[in-house]
Each structure stands twice: as C-alpha cells, then as structure tokens.
Amino acid sequence: MVETDVAIVGAGLAGSLAATMLGRRGVSVALIDPFEHARPDFRCEKIEDRHADSLAKAGVLDEILPAARRYENVWVARLGRLAEIKPIVEYGIAYGDFVNGIRRLIPSEVVFVHNKVASLSLTPERQTLTLLSGDQISARLIIGATGLGAGFLDRIDMHRREISKCHSLSIGFDADSENLPFDSLTYFGEDPSHRVAYITLFPLASGLRVNIFTYHDLDDPWVRRLRISPMEAIAEALPRLERLTGRLRVRGAVKIRPVDLIATENAAQPGIALVGDAFSTACPVSGTGASKALLDTERLCNVHVPNWLSTPGMDADKIAAFYRDPLKTACDAHSLKTSLFAKRSTLGQTALWSAFRWGCYAGSLGRNLVEHRRFPRMPANSALQSEMPANH
C-alpha cells in the first residue's frame, strides 16, 4: 500500500494545480488519474481576470501564460449593434493545453498513479483509496477533484443534487474568417425566442475559436439543423452577427456540450475535501466554473491544508472550515446566482426583461462615452461602419 499525506483524485484543472502547489510546499502527495496526459476537451478556453488572480496566488501564472494567446480590447455587441470596446487583456488556451501546462509544473516528488479510484473508506485519522487495479493508497487527506466523474461520492454518503438539468447547451468550433477588425468579440443574443445567451470569438493557438452558449435542449430542431449546417443555423439565431464578423467558415468538428447544474450535499466528511466541479458545477454562460475550481484549490492549498496537516487528525470539523471559507462561499454564491440569472435574462419575454436588455446596451454605450475609449479603425467599405455609435 502506498502511504502519503495527501491523495489527490483527478488530475484536471483543480487536481493538477493542487498537486503542483502542495508538491512545491514539500507535502507528500499521490495524484491519481487514469490518463497520463489530459485529452482535448471542450471546456473553459479563456484565462480571464479571476482565473489569472487565482493562478497568480497559486504561484503558476507566469509559467502558464506563454502557452496561451494574448488578446486585448474585447468588442461587445448587443442587440445587433457594437456597443463597447472593453480595454481588457485575456488569453485563449485550449482546455487540454491548460491542464497539461499545469501538469508539467508538478514536482517530480509527487507520485502520479495512472489509475481510477473505485472506492474510498474514510476515518477521522487515515483514509483508504481502492483503485480499479485493486491497489490501495493510504492518506491523511483526500482532495476530491474528479470533476463530473464523481459517481463514487454516493458511496461515502454524499449526494449529488441536480439543481437544473440540461441548464444550457454550449457549442464550440474552430473557424476561418476574412480579416476580422477585432481580436475578440462577445455578441449577445438578439431575441429571446432564439434562446442564445451569447457567441464569443477569440484566438487560440490553433486559430480563431467560436463558442456559442445557448439554452436549447439537445433534441431541439435548431440543434439538429446546427449539426447539419452550422453557419446557417447560427445565422438563423443571430441574423445580424455577420455584419460584425463577415462570413465565418467552420473548420473541423462542431462540439456540442449540455451542462447540468449540480451541487454536492453532505460534503463535510472526515478526511476528504472536494474542489471544482466535484463540489458543484457552473453554467458555462456564467464563465465561473474554472474560476471556482482554481479559487477552491488556491484557498485549500495555500490556507487550509497546511493548517490541517500541522495538527493531528482530519475530522469533519477541520474539513468544514474549508466549506465555510468566506472567499470560497462568496465565489460559489456568485457562480450559482450568475448561472441562474443569465438564463432568466436571456429568455425573459416580458417588457421588464426587454428593458433590462436595452439597459445593458445603454450601459455599455455609456461606459464608452464616459471613459472616452477610442474604437479601432474600421476596414474601408465595411458594413461594420453602420454599427459604430454616432460619436465615433
């Protein structure tokens, strides 16, 4: 039996970061995941402010950014019009590259076990993990970072509660385009009947990436049309998008991902702390799932685990301190609230919701006026000219 202080189950975003942070602190760590390298997956593909903040506090930001594509000045268009150019810096990075980038930072002292955890047995002192191979690992603390693969939690009396099934549907593909006048565009849905929250275009190392976040069911006729003819279906749902983007051509496979909102109940058990999607999922529309996973891990490994390991035992009271962490609870609450509100504000058909959406548009225009931002030069003869606010 392998003996260690901390066993991390799952080497995705949260688990790999936890292994890097604790390994660098000299903690004895075993990391368990069936895959030697993270496979390509359609998940978070941007490093935004909140992600960067946690990565910086975890001490890895400068080592991760070189693998990402930097872009600035995000164009925001609402209701078919360009409304704002946000002077922000973000980074595009494919999810597999993001996770593998963090995995490369894991110190060699961390034992990486390529297997799957089948079951756990918990006590206030030591925990036993049984792998599919039948091998066992003994640890003082387990960090559960299994993302959506959290089935085994049921067997330790934790319950995965479904808050909203198929809450949203995300669609992503690589694309080719003619000279876009922006680095990145966020274009909000034009009409609630189209059920589109927004589409975002931004650069990845492989080229232009297009992600659309919608509230369709998987068997919706529009989704069937999208599978056959993606750009036609997108033009149907966002008729005025082409004014800003010109003609886009799909390159490669169109990935379609339904997302359920799920939270784990009865999580405060002896010897195990859950982070990221294993604790609760977020809607991709909110852009908060990865920031939650990173903040969970940063707080756990910078604050709580060092405290826990410095005294004997690992009872449920110790673990509960992590779930009460004010930064974690605020981040979780923000994520859930944004996930639920975004759907209501996109689909709301009443005059009040319509006023809310126009208010957002006016707010975006107002920010531009107040802060005197300059728009980049438009290409000559571009249909984009007609989208410019009058003062520019």
Ligand X SMILES: Cc1cc2nc3c(=O)[nH]c(=O)nc-3n(C[C@H](O)[C@H](O)[C@H](O)COP(=O)(O)OP(=O)(O)OC[C@H]3O[C@@H](n4cnc5c(N)ncnc54)[C@H](O)[C@@H]3O)c2cc1C
Binding to ligand X (CB under 6 A) within 68-107 occurs at none
- What character string, x for contact with ligand X (CB under 6 A) and - otherwise, covers 156-195? --------------x-------------------------
Our finding on whether 295 is near ligand X (CB under 6 A) is no
Q: Which is nearer to ligand X, 146 or 269 (CB)?
A: 146
| Angle formed by the axes of helices 13-24 and 289-299, nearest 10° | 20
Q: Report which of 380, 384, 290 is spatially closest to residue 75, judged by C-alpha positions.
A: 384
Our finding on whether 6 is near ligand X (CB under 6 A) is no
Question: Which of 6, 8, 22, 46 is close enough to bind ligand X by CB under 6 A?
Answer: 46
128 with 276: CB under 8 angstroms? no
**How far apart, in Å, are the Cα atoms of 211 and each of 9, 184, 189, 204, 230?**
30, 12, 13, 12, 12
Stretch that binds ligand X, among 33-41, 236-244, 355-363, 370-378 (CB under 6 A): 33-41
Stretch that binds ligand X, among 39-47, 174-182, 221-229, 374-382 (CB under 6 A): 39-47
Stretch that binds ligand X, among 8-16, 186-194, 316-324, 384-392 (CB under 6 A): 8-16
114 with 35: CB under 8 angstroms? yes
Residues 6+ apart with CB under 8 A from 354: 348
Helix-, strand-, coil-residue percentages of the chain, each rounded to 5: 40, 30, 30
Other beta carbons less than 10 A from residue 370's beta carbon: 8
Q: Which is nearer to ligand X, 214 or 291 (CB)?
A: 291
Our finding on whether 110 is near ligand X (CB under 6 A) is no
* DSSP letter, residue 300: I
346 with 216: CB under 8 angstroms? no
Question: Which of 6, 245, 287, 343 is close enough to bind ligand X by CB under 6 A?
Answer: 287
Question: Which of 6, 7, 27, 33 is close enough to bind ligand X by CB under 6 A?
Answer: 33
Q: Residues in the site for ligand X, rule: CB under 6 A?
A: 9-15, 32-35, 42-44, 46, 116-117, 145-147, 149, 152, 170, 257, 259, 276-278, 282, 284, 287-291, 293
